[in-house]
Amino acid sequence: MQERARLLTATFNNMYNTSCQRIEGAMYGFPNVMFSQKALDAAAEKNMKPDFMYCMDMVNETGIMTVPGSGFG
């Protein structure tokens, strides 16, 4: 489990415009995605928060379920 957590943390931190604190414990990761202005504008056009739009696009395109950080306030 520790190796998987280390690998996932490293993978997030190697992604473009994404960072993540070290994952530990129950394997929850909280990556920080920095959206481009184009993505921010697209979300605004759809009247969505950018992270919600990102999560919806991810599930629709890959089947991977995520939770937008804005849902935590």
**69 token code pair:** 């950080």
- Contact criterion met (CB below 8 Å) for 49 and 43: yes
CA distance linking residue 70 with residue 51, whole number of Å = 7
pLDDT of 37 > 90? The answer is yes
Eight-class DSSP state of 22: P
**pLDDT, tens digit (0-9, with 9 covering 90-100), for 17-34:** 999 999 987 778 889 999
Query: What is the rounded average pLDDT for all residues in the chain?
Result: 92
List the helix and strand counts (H, then E) for the chain: 3, 2
User: Residue 52's pLDDT is what?
Assistant: 96
pTM (2 d.p.): 0.77
Closest CA to 65 of 73, 5, 56: 56
pLDDT of 35 > 80? The answer is yes
